[in-house]
Each structure stands twice: as structure tokens, then as C-alpha cells.
Structure 1
Amino acid sequence: MQHFYFVEKPANVRKSMKVIGYTHSLVPSRKLVKSETVHIHLTESALSLYLALSESNRKILRRAQKEAYQVFIYKEPSEENLRAFQQFYNNFAKRKKLESISKSQMEAIMLLNNQGALWLSEIRSICGQTLCYRLDIVHAKKAMSYYVATCHSQTTLDYLKRPIRYANHFLLWHNLLHLKEQGFVLYDMGRLMDDQNIREFKLSFGGQVVNVYSGYIAHSKISALLLGVQKWRK
């Protein structure tokens, strides 16, 4: 199967491919699922990116600057790094009543990692407790938010409750600046959800709301049948 990420014009599909996968393509297609995302153009100056933030977000980041965070970026995460992330995320998902990262989904994550298409970032408190993880897909100097998980403030000591509130904002802002320094041109915030809190969080980082298209296109009847069975099973 051939898979394309963030394409801006019709992809050059190999004739031998029976199934073509697309993630956040900008090319409209009735065969793919349409959704909204936010694109942050990292070619803008750091000052322009900062001024594009919402006022409340700038206020949070100013407060976060006073916290003694430790940030770790794994450009080539090890299997141990990713297993630790999976465990952290699944605890988060259970608490939030979200779908956990299953064995098959973890296999897909490992495959992406083997292709050099993942960046994992982690933020810890001054005492070394992990507060937040972010897992991004990276391809052709573009990045997209893939998974995000934060720890539970109710299970931590009182003096860590404020750092936890700011951790996700701080880590994402840190990552945007780091990606910019590394020559990346675009950050895709991931699909805009119906959840108002998540939607507001993503919109608070500025950027442009755009329509994107994702899914699979079968180029044979057998492949189409197999895709239909897979969708039915889900």
C-alpha cells in the first residue's frame, strides 16, 4: 500500500498499488473523509507566531515560563520510549474514556517510527514526573499532532498542580519553535474535534483553519471489498 501525507496536489500514484492511503491531504476527494484542522505556518517569524496566539494562551505561556520544566525531544524514539508513552497514554485514555492504543495501533506506530516519521516529546516536572507527552508524525518538513496525553492532577502533589495545567501549552509552544529552528515549514494541529475545550485549545495557537481529506482509496474491486469489510468490523 502506498501512503501520502499532507499532499497539496494530486499524488503520483504507482500503477501497481491497489490501495492508496491519505492523511490530511489538501486535495478534495469524495472518496475520502473531510475534516477540519489548523495549519500553523512555521515560516513566519517567532514574534509573528507569538502574536498570533490568543491573549489567554500568551498569559498561560508567561506563567509557564516561571516553572522549572524539563523538556525531552526524541527524534528517533526507541522502542522503550514508545512503550513508556503507550502506557502513559492508555492510563490517560482510561481516565478520559477514550480509545486506548491497541496492539495493532502500536504496530502502526512502530512502523512509522522505523520509517523515521515520528517525533516524541515529553515534559517533566522539576522532580522528574512526566506531565505530558506529544507524539507527532513528521514528513517532508511538515509535522502533525498524532497523540497527546497529560497526567492526572488529582493524583499528584499540590505543588505540581499548577505546572500540570500549563504543561501541554508549554510543550506544544516549545515544539513549534524547535520545529521552526529545524527548518520545518508547517505544523498541522490534527483534526478539530467537536469537544469545545479541545477545539479552543487548538484554535488558541493561531494558524489557519483548513479542510483536509483522509482515508483509503481502493483501485481494484477486491481491495474495495476488503476495505469495506475492515470498515464494517470497526
Structure 2
Amino acid sequence: MLGIKEITHTIELDLEQDKEKILGNFSKTIRQQIRKAEEEGVVIETNNNIDEFVNFFNEFAAKKGTFQTSKERILEKKDHMIISFAKYQNNIIAAQSYLIDREIKIVRHYQTANKRFDNDLNKNFVGQANKYLLVYNLLKFKDEGFKIFDFGGYAADTTNESLLGINNYKLKFGGQIKECKDYYSLPYWLIKKAGKIFGWSGTV
């Protein structure tokens, strides 16, 4: 079948390393913040409560001005998606989802949302809880035998300040930049390009 090949990049962390080495490769700031969140009493829950996640994620996406999600989009993933929450005093502070492939032992960070736009909460605390949620699950996936944690993309050669900030954030967890080869059918590739040009909205 004729198609289009695109080269993209992502950041991958080798989960087959010793846990001490994984933690040691985190930036000092990351280690301090996840320790602080744990000491403050942030609790991690993995319960796949789809309605709770969709409501929380869409509230965050609306404030950020980005794509929302839907219960149908999540149900499409079946058992290949895991949802996890960081809670403080029984209130959700951050939520994340992960796409998993149990056969080849790869997990990919998929969606994230948090309360950083909530004026009633300390933004530093929200950031700490969000990082703690990521690290808690990353180590949990390691314990379950997963081999690679994919941070979900890297914007190579970008000058966009926002994307540069996301790149630098992901690299603080000790992962390595990897090249990816993506293949698209021609009709899908054209629709994908048109969507970027015209700013078509959708769900994730």
C-alpha cells in the first residue's frame, strides 16, 4: 500500500535499569518535589473511573484551551489504557492516563490534567503532586515487568517556547531521545495535514 513515512521523536526511559539508577537519573528538583508530595500526604489511586477522569480532564482542557476527551474515546482503548489519580484530602489534584502494550512491554504517557489553574491551590504543590503521580506509576510499571516508558513525544528542532518547556520537563526524568518512523496511508496523511492547517478541533 502506498503511504507516507514521517520521522518523529520521543523520549524513552529504560525500565530494565535498577530502580536506584532510574531514581538517580532524575534531576535533583524532580527528586525533591516527589519526596515533598509524598510527605504532604498525596495519595495515588488507580481505579479507571472513566466518568471522573473525563470530567476532570475536560475542565482542565477547557481552561488550557486544548482538545478535550470523551468517554467513548477512552472506551475505544479497552484494556490498553490505565487511568490514575493523585489526590489530597480526597480531592483530585492531578490525573493521568497511560497506553499499555502488555505483549511488547511498552507503556506510553497519554493524557495529563491537573489543578494548576485553580486559584485556591498552591501551584507548586499541584506540580509536585503531578510529578509524584508520574513517578509512582512509572515505578509501578517497572515492577509489573514493563521494559520501556515512553513520555509521549519530543518536539525536535522547535523554537516554540511552550514546546521547549515540555521537552525540558520530560528530559528531567532521565529518558533518552529516540527517533520514530511513522507510516500513514495517503488519505489519512492529507486529513492530518489539513487538520493542522485549518485548526480543526477534536478529542484525544
- Both proteins in one fold, TM over 0.5: yes
The change in CA–CA distance for 1:214 and 1:167 in structure 2 (over 3 A counts) is farther
- The secondary structure found in structure 2 opposite 1:88 is helix
Asked if the contact 1:34/1:212 (under 8 Å) is kept, the reply is yes
Q: Does 1:149 align with 2:117?
A: no
Pairwise mapping of residues 30-179 of structure 1 onto structure 2 (< 5 A)?
Answer: 31-74=4-47, 77=48, 81-101=49-69, 103=70, 106-113=71-78, 116-125=79-88, 127-139=89-101, 140=103, 141-152=105-116, 154-157=118-121, 161-179=123-141
Distance 1:191 1:185 in 2: 17
Distance 1:146 1:34 in 2: 20
Aligned alpha-carbon RMSD (Å): 2.3
Letter in 1 for 2:94: C
Q: Count residues in correspondence.
A: 187
Any stretches of 5+ residues in structure 2 without a counterpart? none
The change in CA–CA distance for 1:97 and 1:50 in structure 2 (over 3 A counts) is same
- The secondary structure found in structure 2 opposite 1:108 is helix
Letter in 2 for 1:66: E
- Report the Cα offset of residue 161 of structure 1: 4.8
Distance 1:120 1:71 in 2: 11
TM-score (norm 1): 0.72
Q: Deviations over 1:3-49 (max 9, x none)?
A: xxxxxxxxxxxxxxx79xxxxxxxxxx82332221111111011000
Asked if the contact 1:124/1:130 (under 8 Å) is kept, the reply is yes
Distance 1:215 1:88 in 2: 33
TM-score (norm 2): 0.81
- The secondary structure found in structure 2 opposite 1:155 is coil
Distance 2:111 2:5 in 1: 21
Asked if the contact 1:67/1:163 (under 8 Å) is kept, the reply is no
Task: Give the corresponding residue for 2:152.
Answer: 190
Distance 1:182 1:228 in 2: 36
- The secondary structure found in structure 2 opposite 1:31 is strand
User: Which 4+ stretches in 1 moved above 6 angstroms?
Assistant: none
- The secondary structure found in structure 1 opposite 2:76 is helix
- The secondary structure found in structure 2 opposite 1:65 is helix
Task: Give the corresponding residue for 1:212.
Answer: 180
Distance 2:126 2:77 in 1: 29
More off after superposition, 168-177 vs 146-155: 146-155
Distance 2:189 2:166 in 1: 31
